[in-house]
Structure 1
Amino acid sequence: MSLSNIFNIAGSGMSAQSVRLNTVASNIANAESVSSSIDETYRARHPVFATMLQQAQGSGGQSLFSERDEAGVGVRVTGIVEDQSELLARYEPSNPAANAEGYVYYPNVNVVEEMADMISASRAFQSNAELMNTAKTMMQKVLTLGQ
């Protein structure tokens, strides 16, 4: 693996964490939205990540350890899934969105968990950015070796 591949790997990580931050923002924004039916109520969304392996990129077999040690070449978002946990039904007959029985349905978004997820995604993004800076510094040092 060359030093330049680090930028692609860290970039894919930053892109994945951006998707994660976007889903967290969407979940928090819709945390207090109400609906009169279960089918129309917002459900929390979460991205699903997968490792992109070296072999899948067509460059496997170049390493002595390729048979048992596939190096990752980044991360990708395979999709965004809806949380299927139960929605919160509250009896609020005065709410304009209440159904005929007087119930409104709130999303299954836990704001505390979403905030923790936001902090985690932010730190992961920051770590990937720092990794890029470190790789850039290393490449600059390599260029000055012959001087």
Structure 2
Amino acid sequence: MSAFRGLDISASGMTANRIWQEVVAVNIANAETTRTPSGEPFRRKLVVMMQDGLGVRVAAIVDDPSPFRLVYDPSHPDADANGYVRMPNVHPVLEMVDLMAATRGYEFNAQALAIQRQMLQQVLDLLR
């Protein structure tokens, strides 16, 4: 195993968590979007991660299949004949929990990267 493999592992974790943070931001930004180009409400996006060697990578970003929320608002332009509006399946509180988890994952990998860098620097100092 290369002395730099640990750096690669931490960097892959940072990249995957950054992508997760970006997807959560898109979900939050579209929490009230009732009409997309397809004509449907925005559908929450989920990040699928998988092990990649000793690291991790984003395998896919998929639509959350959970049902849309129905809100009674007959004055809304997207209301159906009964006055109900199909709202995105985005729950801001759950998105904030995901954002916290992604941020913590990023921070932990950044800390591990810094520690590994420090250890490698100490090895180089000993070899001088």
Give TM-score scaled by structure 2 length: 0.90
Aligned residue identity for 2:108: S
- Which residue of structure 1 lines up, in the alignment, with residue 22 of structure 2? 22
> Following TM superposition, where does structure 1 have runs of at least 4 consecutive aligned residues deviating by more than 4 angstroms?
none
- Which residue of structure 2 lines up, in the alignment, with residue 82 of structure 1? 63
1:106 Cα deviation after fit: 0.6
Superposed, which structure 2 residues align to 1:3-82 within 5 Å?
3-35=3-35, 40-53=40-53, 72=54, 74-82=55-63
- Which residue of structure 2 lines up, in the alignment, with residue 138 of structure 1? 119
Superposed, which structure 2 residues align to 1:103-114 within 5 Å?
103-114=84-95
Unpaired stretches in structure 1, ≥5 consecutive residues: 54-71
Distance 1:10 1:146 in 2: 25
Partner secondary structure for residue 145 of structure 1: helix
Question: Between Structure 1 and Structure 2, which shows a larger proportion of helix residues?
Answer: 2
Partner secondary structure for residue 109 of structure 1: coil
Name which of structure 1's ranges 98-107 and 11-20 shifts more when overlaid on structure 2.
98-107
Unpaired stretches in structure 2, ≥5 consecutive residues: none
Indicate how the Cα distance of structure 1 residues 8 and 146 shifts in structure 2: closer, same or farther if over 3 A, else same: closer
1:134 Cα deviation after fit: 0.4
1:103 Cα deviation after fit: 2.2
Give TM-score scaled by structure 1 length: 0.79
1:39 Cα deviation after fit: 5.6
Distance 1:103 1:35 in 2: 14
Name which of structure 1's ranges 130-139 and 38-47 shifts more when overlaid on structure 2.
38-47
Partner secondary structure for residue 117 of structure 2: helix
Deviation string 1:73-126 (CA, Å, 9 cap, x unpaired) is x11111011111111112211112223443211111111111011011001101
Distance 2:99 2:84 in 1: 31
Aligned residue identity for 2:117: K
1:10 Cα deviation after fit: 1.0
- Which residue of structure 2 lines up, in the alignment, with residue 65 of structure 1? none
Distance 1:21 1:137 in 2: 27
Distance 1:112 1:81 in 2: 20
Distance 2:127 2:23 in 1: 47
Identity %: 40
Aligned residue identity for 2:12: S
